Structure 1
Amino acid sequence: MIEGLPMAVAAEGLPDRVRIHEVGARDGLQNEPSTVPVEVKAEFIRRLADAGLRTIEATSFVHPRWVPQLADAEELFPAVADLADRAGADAVRLPALVPNERGLERALALGVREIAVFGSATESFARANLNRTVDEALAMFEPVAARAKEAGAGVRGYLSMCFGDPWEGPVPVAQVVGVCRRLLDLGCDELSLGDTIGVATPGHVTALLAALNDAGVPTGRLAVHFHDTYGQALSNTLAALRHGVTAVDASAGGLGGCPYAKSATGNLATEDLVWMLHGLGIDTGVDLGRLTATSVWMAERLGRPSPSRTVRALSSQGTHDTRGSQGTQVSRDSHKEQ
């Protein structure tokens, strides 16, 4: 491809623009075997913002015993909070995951404006992840969502195991729909449907989205979150886009997995997603060259290559922007808006 960019060929029935919900700094780094220094995390988030990402999930206010890699939330969030104060289209949304009311208090005290809660469509994973039943977890989230709303904060609901569970197998569509409806009733503004162990296929994705529509869940309030265990993340994303979904979770460089489901491999790589979207003529606002350089930079700090195919391809061609957030070199391969 010329200058490291795909040729844009639009397809009917797809949105003009997709909002990428970048989860690398939280969902990606929480699965690392050791804690990444807070200054590296802050620089990672700034580089992602400079690459054009406008929703970057910053951290999680969980107890350090649960996820020790994110124990530095009180130090990290103030280091990047100014990104949310940028003017107009340059402002960056910095949501944070909170598990309970104590986590919410910590987040609101630092000025977090958007929070997320993390539920499960299955009983087995609810117990493994939250040490609660599905009903108990939803009861725990109810006051969290209510207090967040009172404080003027947005609320996102993550729902894991929407397609398959390592203990229970395939998850019935009706079961997922029921939990989704309950999360919306709690006050979630957006629901992210998680394929936590990466077993979904396009037909399954389409069936779930259709069932949610039939149950009165607006597609505009849905996002999708795919893992690439069986190489289906991009095809599943395309199926969701054809159904009208315009918000997609992804992780820079394909970082991440799930500490509570060992069969879960990495998230959909943001670069792979951007390559596909730009090839379809869909606007993301993301500079693919800068994003690739950011993932190369982070991979160097983690001591291993990025699993993203696009990162590897562009890196081998030398077609990524190497300036990061502090440098001055301008690459001829910087992405131009479609």
Structure 2
Amino acid sequence: MSESGVEIVEVGPRDGLQNEDRTLPVATRVKMLRRLVVGGTRRVEAVSFVHPDRVPQMAGAEEVLDGLAATGVVAEDVRLIGLVLNDRGAQRAAATSCREINVVVPVTDEFCRRNQGRSVEGMLEQAAAATQTARAAEMGVSVTLAVAFGCPFSGTVGVDRVAEVLDRVLAMGVDEVAFADTIGVGVPSQVTSYAALLPTGASTPGLRYHFHNTRNTGYANAWTAATLGRPVALDSSVGGFGGCPFAPAATGNIATEDLLYLLTRGEVPVTGPVQDLLGLTDVSAWLSKELDSSVDALLGRAGGFGGVGEEPS
């Protein structure tokens, strides 16, 4: 991440698709990724290396990456991320064009067992092994602390519990830590509290957040994170698609186009090339037809304002 501003991590090709009823073929997923990259996306969670029996929408990760490479649009500054749940997933990712892995570690045992079939302790062991595998392949490593803002099975999650799991993750020497509001229950005060757990410093991993807008707090949380006065990465999904197959009623991510409108109009610096907002709304509309699912983002309906997200005059 750069020294200042907000970095957008596009998670639509992974989190945006994994909870949809319709499974897109490999060629369509390649087309989605190509359109995003051409439109300015530079860091994207492209695939998930999970067993297709668990998440069939994510089958064929290697084929998707090979197909994207064949398009010739992936430049040196494009970082492809593969989500993994264990060391086996990291091994698969290391054999592809992914430049980093994102390991998901839930902070509650109940969610971890239902989602990943093991306790938090067991998942931390897998995360440590996956980190070693990625390091051997010269890949970056992010760890996402899932259900950090609240768990659908265990209820409220305290800061002390998140800090306990975080300390174990920091000992692995990862590049970035993401606090995830997996079910969209978080509020801005929690965003601030979790940032305080990761003090700034040369040896401190990057700070990242993953918000869902289930209860209309996702954008308030994103604004809080963006105005902390420190570098931060924010996950978002084109069109606002997404959700967790293992979390009841977990609706879509915050939408990339709506987030970028908020940051741009709010004069918050966005690192890297700013994505084409009009192009993003076109991708959302196209994806809506492919998925037979409505767009949750509002920019495409309402239009831009003040020169942001508007057709050039």
Q: TM-score, normalised by structure 1?
A: 0.84
Of 214, 225, 231, which aligns to 1:229?
214
Q: Partner letter of residue 37 of structure 1?
A: P
Classify 1:84/1:146 alpha carbon distance in 2 versus 1 (closer, same or farther; 3 Å): farther
Sequence identity, in percent? Answer: 41
> 8 Å contact 1:177–1:212 — kept in the other structure?
no
After TM superposition, the structure 1 = structure 2 runs for residues 81-120 of structure 1, keeping only pairs within 5 Å, are: 81=69, 85-87=74-76, 91-120=77-106
- Displacement after TM superposition at 1:142 (Å): 1.3
Q: Give 5+ residue unaligned stretches, structure 1.
A: 1-14, 322-330, 334-338
Of 265, 283, 289, which aligns to 1:279?
265
Match of 1:308 in 2: 297
> 8 Å contact 2:80–2:97 — kept in the other structure?
no
Of 123, 129, 147, which aligns to 1:143?
129
Of 233, 243, 246, which aligns to 1:247?
233
RMSD after superposition = 2.3
Superposed CA offset, 1:36-57 (max 9, x none): 0111111111111122110111
Aligned residue pairs total: 303
Match of 1:26 in 2: 14
> 8 Å contact 2:37–2:74 — kept in the other structure?
no
Matched, 1:67 2:47: no
Partner of 1:30, secondary structure, is coil
Matched, 1:55 2:43: yes
Of 203, 218, 221, which aligns to 2:189?
203
> 8 Å contact 1:84–1:92 — kept in the other structure?
no
Distance 1:169 1:311 in 2: 35
Classify 1:109/1:277 alpha carbon distance in 2 versus 1 (closer, same or farther; 3 Å): same
> 8 Å contact 2:18–2:242 — kept in the other structure?
yes
Superposed CA offset, 1:251-284 (max 9, x none): 0000101000012111111111001001012343
Match of 1:9 in 2: none
> 8 Å contact 2:34–2:73 — kept in the other structure?
no
Q: Give 5+ residue unaligned stretches, structure 2.
A: none
Matched, 1:332 2:302: no
Q: Partner letter of residue 290 of structure 2?
A: R
Matched, 1:299 2:293: no
Distance 1:16 1:156 in 2: 19
Distance 2:202 2:248 in 1: 31
Larger Rg: 1
Judge which range, 61-70 or 219-228, deviates more: 219-228
Classify 1:158/1:37 alpha carbon distance in 2 versus 1 (closer, same or farther; 3 Å): same
Classify 1:217/1:203 alpha carbon distance in 2 versus 1 (closer, same or farther; 3 Å): farther
> 8 Å contact 1:194–1:225 — kept in the other structure?
yes
Partner of 2:79, secondary structure, is coil
Match of 1:3 in 2: none
- Give the number of the structure whose residues are more often helix, by fraction: 1
